[in-house]
Each structure stands twice: as structure tokens, then as C-alpha cells.
Amino acid sequence: MSIIEAANVEKRYGDLHVIKGIDVTIEEGQVFGLLGPNGAGKTTFISMLSAQLPITSGQVTIDGFDIHVSTKEIKRRIGVVPQDIALYPELNAYDNLKFFGALYGLKRKELKEKIDWILTLVGLKDRASDPVKNYSGGMKRRINIAAALLHDPRIIFMDEPTVGIDPQSRNKIYELIHFLKEQKRTIIYTTHYMEEASNLCDTIAILDGGRIIEIGTTVDLLKKLHGGILEFHLDQDMGSKEIRTIMDTHDCIIECLQAKEKVGFIVTNTQEALQTILGSLSAKGIKVSSVNTMPPTLETLFLHLTGKELRE
């Protein structure tokens, strides 16, 4: 059952077209990853989905509510973990949580119980009375997440929640996300860490230039890379005719990616393909200065799809 449906969503700031018609459907209980380079529009997109930012055009339905007419209903059902540590450093963790819980109408006993529950869950109950300014980065991140979960939201937006923290805190956050997943909560998750995305996310959408350029389950996305990518740095430009010849003569090459003095091949098996392609290049008198072997990971897919590395 889909809990979020976005159709042809656009965002413009004057002449600046930030989000260019995104269609996406997110199923309930999924961890939905949003990957993309800086400036791809990830934060803008989740800000629109979480009703923090008005949509220029398009339709969004959250848990059956139209975002244009039922903003408050939607806000009651969602929790937002911002990219920044949006807490009051002078207040202690308990007071911070009390404040954010109260914004959702939680009161007295219920609020106290929820605070105790979430502090236990993020492992900070014994530090609850310390001012947040005295916390480590990881501890602040955990309270930052906790503040979004107090009212037990069905949908949680997490904007890079593990940036710049220690491994212990990161593991705590992963545990928390697994716990939420078990609770059938839907999580929309943006991150720069590909490993994190592949481990946590059921479905991943890759954004670039305000568009989703690839979407699918992690397994399906990785299949697009087959055995990985071989990238050859050449001493000279290689003509498209020569590339076509090499591709036609080797079954192990699935796709070719070319940019000036670099040429990349998606191959079925990097070890086998390396010898074969090197042989062909040598036979054509093309000198290779270096070879980069990229395994079939989300990192490789990200670079392949956004083309940042190859375009340089």
C-alpha cells in the first residue's frame, strides 16, 4: 500500500528550476533512500514532501491527505529529522524533547512517558539532564532524531542523519532505523554514504539536477552495473569507431562510457575483461596510462549515473 504519492512535482524559485517534475510512489513500511550530489534537490524535495515548503506545481498525497489542503493533518503524521542539529543547546535533552513533544500536543504524563521511552531508545537517558551543548556530535544527532519520533509518526523524513558522527553513535542510529522499520514506519532517508544506503534502504532514488535519474530496489540498481566498471585513462583520444570495434569483439562489455581521454566499460566480469580490453587497446597502438577498476556498488552506480567523475 502506497503511503506517499508524488506526481509531476516541481519547485521553482523565480527562474531557478530546482525540482523538475518528479514522480514517485513510496510504499508503507519502506526505507526509501534519496541519493544525489550536493545541489541535486534532495533537501528541497523532502521539504516539499514534509509540507515545509510549498510545491510550485504537481500533486502530493501523504497517507491519503492532499498536501495542498491538509497540511496540518499531514504534519501530525510525519516526523522530520533535519540535516542540521535543530535543538536548543542551552536546554538539556529532556527540556528539548519536552518542547518538541508539546508542539504535537503531547502533555504531562504521556509526554513524560514518551520522553523516557525515546531517551532509552537512543541510549541517552542517563545524560537527559545535561545541556545539549555539552553533548558530542553523535549524541546531538541522536537527540535530533529522538525529537522527531516523540509523537510516534507514521512517516519519518531523515535528512542525512549520520553526517559527521562517531561509529558508536552511527550504529545506534542504524539500530534505531531497524527498530522503526520493524515497527512498520516509513522512512525517507537521504545520505551521502552509499554503504549506509545499500544496507538500510529498500528502494533508492538517485537525484541529479532536480530529476530522479534512477529508481529501484538496491538489488535491481546494482544489477545495472553487472560485474562493475573498468575505466581506462588513455594517452590520446579514442574515436567512437574504435570503441565500437572493441565492444563488438568482446562479449564481456555491456556498455561504453566515453569522455575525452578516459573510456569506461560496464563489463560482466572485471578480471576477465581487463586482460581482453588491454590486449585490444595495445593491438590498436593506444597507450594506457592507468586503469581504474570499480566494483558493482551504489557508489559506482552513483558516479556512473551522475557522471560527475567521468565528466571532469
Partner 1 sequence: MKFLPIVKKDLKLILKDKAAMIVLFLLPVMFISVMSFALMPVFNGGHDPTVSIALIDLDKTEESKGFIERLRDVQGITVVTESDGTVFKESDAERLILGNSYPMAVVIPQEFGKKVKGNEKVTLGGFIDPAQYNTSSIIVKALEGVSSTYSALFTIENMVDNQIAEVNEAVNDRVTEMSDLYEEKIDELTAELDKLAQSFPGGTPVEREPIEVGYMGLETESMRDTLLQQANDSVGEPLITVKEYLGVSEKVEKPDAFQQNVPGYTVMFVFFIVMFAGRSFLAERKDGTFRRILSAPIGKWNLFIGKMIPNFLISLIQCFVMFAIGHFLFKMSLGNSILGLIGISLCLAWASTAIGMLIASLVKSETQIVGVSMMIVLTLAALGGTMVPLFVMPDLMQKIALFTPHAWALTGYQSLLVRGMGLSDVWLNMLVLFLFGMAFITVAVWRLRFDE
Q: Smallest distance, Å, CB 264 to partner 1?
A: 39
CA 113 vs CA 94, 107, 117, 119, 130: distances in Å: 11, 10, 6, 10, 19
Site string for partner 1, 228-267 (x = CB under 8 A): ----------------------------------------
Assess 273 for contact with partner 1 (CB under 8 A): no
66 is a site residue for partner 1 (CB under 8 A): no
Classify residue 91 as exposed, middle or buried by CB count within 10 Å of its CB (0-12, 13-18, 19+): middle
H or E segment to which residue 22 belongs: strand 16-27
Interacting residue with partner 1 among 2, 25, 52, 258 (CB under 8 A): 52
Q: Residue 305: which residues within 8 A CB-CB, separation 6 or more?
A: 206, 208, 213, 214
CA separation (Å) from 77 to 64, 155, 162, 214? 11, 6, 23, 28
Distances (CA, A) of 67 to 64, 83, 311: 9, 22, 38
Interface with partner 1 (CB under 8 A), residue from 100, 135, 232, 302: 100
Which letter does DSSP use for residue 41 in this model?
A: S
Does 128 participate in binding partner 1 (rule CB under 8 A)? no
Cell 565500437 belongs to residue: 244
With CB under 8 A as the contact rule, which of the stretches 23-31, 46-54, 206-214, 297-305 interacts with partner 1?
Answer: 46-54
Asked if 102 touches partner 1 (CB under 8 A), the answer is yes
In angstroms, give the least distance from the CB of 244 to partner 1.
52
What letter does residue 105 receive in the DSSP assignment?
T
Contact between 36 and partner 1 (CB under 8 A)? no
Nearest approach in angstroms of CB 261 to partner 1 is 44
Per-residue contact string for residues 180-209; x = within reach of partner 1 by CB under 8 A: ------------------------------
Considering only 28, 29, 104, 299, the residue that binds partner 1 (CB under 8 A) is 104
User: Footprint of partner 1 on residues 67-96 (CB under 8 A)?
Assistant: 72, 75-76, 78, 80, 82-91, 95
**Residues 153, 10, 16: CA angle, nearest 5 degrees:** 120
Q: Applying CB under 8 A, does 133 fall inside the site for partner 1?
A: no
Footprint of partner 1 on this chain (CB under 8 A)?
50-52, 72, 75-76, 78, 80, 82-91, 95, 99-100, 102-105, 147
